[in-house]
Structure formats: structure tokens, C-alpha cells
Amino acid sequence: MGSGMVRTLVVLAALCGAGVASGSDTQIRLASGETLRVSIVELTETHLKCSHPVLGEFLIPRDQVVIVAPEAVGTSAEGGVTGGATEAGTADSGDQAQPDAQADAVPAAANEAPEKLSFWRGWKRSVDLGAIGSDGNSETFGARGAFGMARKSDTMETTVGLSYVFNTDNGEKTKSRGELDAKNEWLFGKESRWGFFAAGKVEFDEFQDWDWRISGFLGPSYAFIRNDKTLLRGRVGAGGSFELGGDDDGFEPELLIGLDFEHAFNERNKIFASSEYLPSLSEFPDYRVNSKAGWEILVDEKSGANLKLGLVDRYDSSPGDGFKKNDIEYFVTLGWSF
């Protein structure tokens, strides 16, 4: 039963008057704010079955119920009704539940509802620090720092990442690169493998033909494999990139063909890989390829400490005069998730 139907039931009950509801022994408050007095027939982890003198019996999803304040209603191990207070309610001494009783009567499912509905809740954060090596336009050893955020729900997956690499060789700067990327994936329901993504990236690099590059893409996605351990998702989109500070500044329209892969061997070991093929639409056959692969090991479960080993490869078929096509970074970082 949707929230619209629940509200309709509340309105109907109100029109019937308080007199017909006097036989009901339980007051419930819905997530939308309305209250209703009913007799509880069954209370389970997924739904609340109610009986009303006029409306008869009907079901309400458990996550729509914010407060259940019954006089003497409980649940058995099988989900049936027994005596005593339920885990979702406390005793009600009158028509209106006391403030303290209402505060204690919020069920676990209701506590989770705001996180599912609010974009600002449910984020997982991570910080990574460590060593990095590079082979390409700069061949040195230096340091790497990264900060990431990720949020997953039934309808949306969002990731945001910020990283910076700084290398020196005999006191001379040989690499200075920063990257901010964000991706949002709208999912078409639990049963559907289809989705729609929007991705954007801002790059800064002192050792390329350009100083700044801003890119963005939109398009559909499809999950070839999606279960508790493995994810294999493909993406196809259109967009482009805009370069600043180089010999060939301007906008470059591009396509994006990407593939993301994750697999968890167990609770402590996970591998990940991603690759994006970015062909130019105006300077054929120019193209770029961005690839990343690594292994994440959970070191300490309580602190969220983890170890990551991997590499990043950026390929540009036309990097500019004096620049190499391949730019490879390998890294070993110690991180924390919170």
C-alpha cells in the first residue's frame, strides 16, 4: 500500500467521526504525520495489519509507521499478535500518547526511513595515504593522498573522489596532479539491470600539454552481473572534455564506453577494476583510455583500516609534442573507512 492510499484511509476514518473509532484500541502515527486509531491484527517486520469498524482490515507497510502505541499488543516469534508491549510501541494511557512514550515508540524500520529518503544520509567515507610510483611523462617516486565518499540505495548509487599526487626528484618537482570526479547512477528498481548515469571530472596536471581538463558524460548503464559478491556494469554515454592552458585549448566532443568490475572474495579481500574508452567525435581516430585496477585488503575491522594496492593508466593517442602517450601510476596506500 502506497503512502497516498494510507492518507486516503486516514481521511476516510476522520470523516466517519470519533464515535465509530471508539472501539479501536491502538493509535498509530504514519511517516507522513497523520494519526489513526485501529485494532492491530498482526504486526510483522514487513507490514502492519489493521482492523477498523468502517474501513475493515487493511495492510500498512512497516516503514510507513512512525509510532505504534497499543494498550496491550505484542508480536510472537512467528509475527502473530500476543499480549504485552510490542518492540514498536509502548503503553498508551489515553487517546493521545505521552511525549516520552512516543519518543520510545519509534520502530527500527522508521529510523531507517529518513536515510533511504534523504540524499545527505548514508554516506561512507574513506581516506587513503601512501606511496606511489610513476612511469611515463615523469619517472619518480612520491606520495599520494585521496578522499572518497560513496552512498548506495535501492534507487541511486553516488561516488565522489578527490586525489592529489606530488613527486619530487632531488628537490625538483616532477609531478603535480589533482583530480576531482563524481558519478551518479540512477537505478530502475531492484529487478531491473538498467540504469542511467551522469559523470563529471576535473583534472589538474602540470606535466601535460594542458593545465586543466573538465569533462562530463551522460548515458545508460547495464549491470551484466549484480549480486552480493560481484558487480559487472557497462556504461555508454556522450559528452566531451574542455582543456585549458595548452596548445590546443577548447571543447572536444567525445563518446564514453566504460566497464566497472568489483568482486569480494570474502569480508576482507576485494578486487576492483574499471576502464573507459573515450573516442573523439571531431578528431577521428584520436582517443583516450582511462583504466584502474587494484586489490583492497581490510586490515582492522574495528578501525576500518585497509590496504590498497593498484595501478592507474591514462593513455592519450595525441598527447601533444614532447609528451608520452602512456602515463602509468602504481600505488600502495593505507586507508581508513568511516
pLDDT band at 4 (very low <50, low <70, confident <90, very high): low
DSSP for 268-279?
SEEEEEEEEEEE
pTM above the 0.85 mark? no
| Residues 137-154: tens digit of each pLDDT | 766 678 999 999 999 988
| Residues 34-52: tens digit of each pLDDT | 777 778 777 777 777 878 7
Dist. CA 29–CA 67, nearest whole Å = 5
DSSP for 153-184?
-SSEEEEEEEEEEEEEETTEEEEEEEEEEEEE
- pLDDT, position 125: 94
Residue 300: exposure state from Cβ atoms within 10 A (0-12, 13-18, ≥19)? exposed
Q: Residue 276 forms beta bridges with which residues?
A: 258, 290
CB atoms within 10 A of CB 106: 17
- pLDDT, position 90: 38
Report which DSSP code applies to 54. Answer: T
- Specify the DSSP element, H or E, that contains 8: helix 3-16
Least reliable range by pLDDT among 65-74, 217-226, 279-288, 328-337? 65-74
Cis amide prior to 285 (ω within 30 degrees): yes
| Residues 221-261: tens digit of each pLDDT | 999 999 999 999 999 999 999 999 887 788 999 999 999 99
Task: Pick the more confident residue, 127 or 141.
Answer: 127
- Specify the DSSP element, H or E, that contains 57: strand 56-61
pLDDT band at 68 (very low <50, low <70, confident <90, very high): low
Strand, coil or helix: 146: strand
- pLDDT, position 33: 67
What is the distance in angstroms between the CA of the first residue and the CA of the last residue of the chain?
36
> Smallest Cα–Cα separation from 273: which of 288, 265, 263, 283?
263
Domains along the sequence of the chain with CATH: 3-113 (2.30.30.100), 124-337 (2.40.160.40)
> Smallest Cα–Cα separation from 107: which of 189, 26, 46, 17?
46
Which residue is listed with cell 554516506?
123
Dist. CA 262–CA 242, nearest whole Å = 30
Mean pLDDT of the chain: 79
Strand, coil or helix: 121: coil
| Residues 184-205: tens digit of each pLDDT | 999 998 889 999 999 999 999 9
- pLDDT, position 56: 75
Dist. CA 274–CA 201, nearest whole Å = 15
Residue 237: exposure state from Cβ atoms within 10 A (0-12, 13-18, ≥19)? buried
